[in-house]
Amino acid sequence: MARMHTGKHGKAKSRKPAAEQAVLPEGAPSKEEAARLITEYAKQGMHHAAIGQKLRDEHNIPYVKQYFGKRLHSVLEEQEVAGEYPQDFMDLLKSAVKIRRHLTKNKNDKHNRTSLTRIESKIWRMSKYYKRTGALPEDWKYDPEKAALIVKGS
């Protein structure tokens, strides 16, 4: 399908090397050492993306999935430091709580009211997905007060 305002089609595809072709870099730490680094960074409260960037920039591990054969979240689950909720879901909950707090003080802010509606729609869609995959309990429902408590506890 073409782009909206041009006749060009673009080149949307991944530029990562295939896992079979990937060559492990020289000077990278052992898998045990890398797993220890990941758990250390997670305990410091780093976001998954920040952990991946730190491994790439400082420890010469370009792609965690190719290095371990599994995703970063799986490594965190094995080390038992993964959060109770998925990281992207928690980010949405945090932004919804933050906007709700803003709207209690600024009642006429229509733009943020609209963005809150959009964020909560994403939360509902993602909660359906995560219930289906088992990351959330089947009886989990989005409630703004409950979300505020979850964010405060994390």
60: helix, strand or coil: coil
Per-residue pLDDT of the chain (154 residues), as tens digits, is 566 777 777 777 777 776 665 566 777 788 888 889 999 998 898 888 899 899 888 888 888 888 888 888 888 888 888 778 888 899 999 999 999 999 999 999 999 999 999 999 999 999 999 999 999 999 999 999 999 999 988 7
pLDDT confidence of residue 84: 85
Instruction: Give the C-alpha separation, 17 to 14, whole Å.
Output: 8
CA 18 to chain centre: 22
Longest dimension (CA), the chain: 57
Q: Tell me, yes or no, if the pTM score tops 0.85.
A: no
Task: Dig out the tokens for 22 from the structure.
Answer: 């990937």
